[in-house]
Amino acid sequence: MRHFPTTAVFDWSGAGGKRHHGIALAVSKETAAPRLIAPPHPSGKWSRNDALAWLRAQADAQADVLIGMDVSMGFPFADMGGYFPQWSDSPATAPELWAAVERLCEADSHLEAGGVLSHPDIAPHFRQTGNLGAHYGASKSGRLRVVEAESRRLGLANPYSCLNLVGAAQVGKASLTAMRLLHALRGVIPVWPFYPVPNRGPMLIEIYTSIAAVRAGVSKGRSKLRTWEGLNAALAALNCPPVAAQSKPPSDHHSDALLTAAWLMRAQGHAAHWTPAAMTEKVAMTEGWTFGVG
């Protein structure tokens, strides 16, 4: 398996608006402490279009960087034989899903994804505030992808459905906005496991920061690191140099990005992460996979 000399991680946000405290970017090298990449705007906040521009720049430079995004790059498919079986135009693969999300949301600014949630055949699959969709699932956990069920089985995490749009644990809004970004990058940066690992240049993968924390020895219930001491203890467990402590404690988003970038640098060498047994070809092309599960 190809080795990437640089890893990067985006902690992502699906919130409305242009700029977000919830987006953070960190990069890691083999022998150095991970570091945050400052957003290009004087506000100190990233926009999703800033992130898209940064990713395009990596592609233009053919930078050898493995880039993780804390989102779901596909929706549940295997459980019902489709993303939205009641919809006659339900996509057949994840790249087609990204294209459908973009088509439905092209009027939404800032890579937002409100257009999906107003579609009469799609909206019932989501849990929204005050509205548990008829096709969301029998419990609040909702429909799960194969990788999410596998993550639970292995004790790595206890994820909600990526069709959940309610509460602090939800990743649905972030995933929808990321799908617009992934569509914009088709033909620019390949995305695993939907496309092969390229011989050179950047690649995108799906990560889950809580799994990186657990892999670094942080207990599942304490995966959010809110002190420099806690972050550096987790980095030490990965044999990674510490980051310089600052007077202000790190935000969840900053510590998630820093720790996960460092973990990804080391985890990329584990062949089993690239070929998990439960990831069939059909699952890979429809639902995708979270790197590090399996």
The predicted structure's pLDDT at residue 158: 86
- The predicted-structure confidence for 141-195, as pLDDT tens digits, reads as follows 799 999 999 999 998 988 889 999 988 778 899 999 999 999 999 999 999 999 9
| In the predicted structure, residue 13 carries a pLDDT above the cut 70 | yes
CA-to-CA separations, 31 to 17, 58, 238, in angstroms, rounded = 37, 21, 12
Specify burial of residue 240 (Cβ count, 10 A radius: 0-12, 13-18, 19+).
buried
- The predicted-structure confidence for 185-238, as pLDDT tens digits, reads as follows 999 999 999 999 999 999 999 999 999 999 898 876 665 788 999 999 999 999
- The predicted-structure confidence for 49-102, as pLDDT tens digits, reads as follows 999 999 999 999 999 999 999 999 999 999 999 999 989 999 999 999 999 999
The predicted structure's pLDDT at residue 223: 59
The predicted structure's pLDDT at residue 167: 82
Specify burial of residue 163 (Cβ count, 10 A radius: 0-12, 13-18, 19+).
buried
Instruction: Find the helix or strand (DSSP H, E) in which 172 lies.
Output: helix 172-184
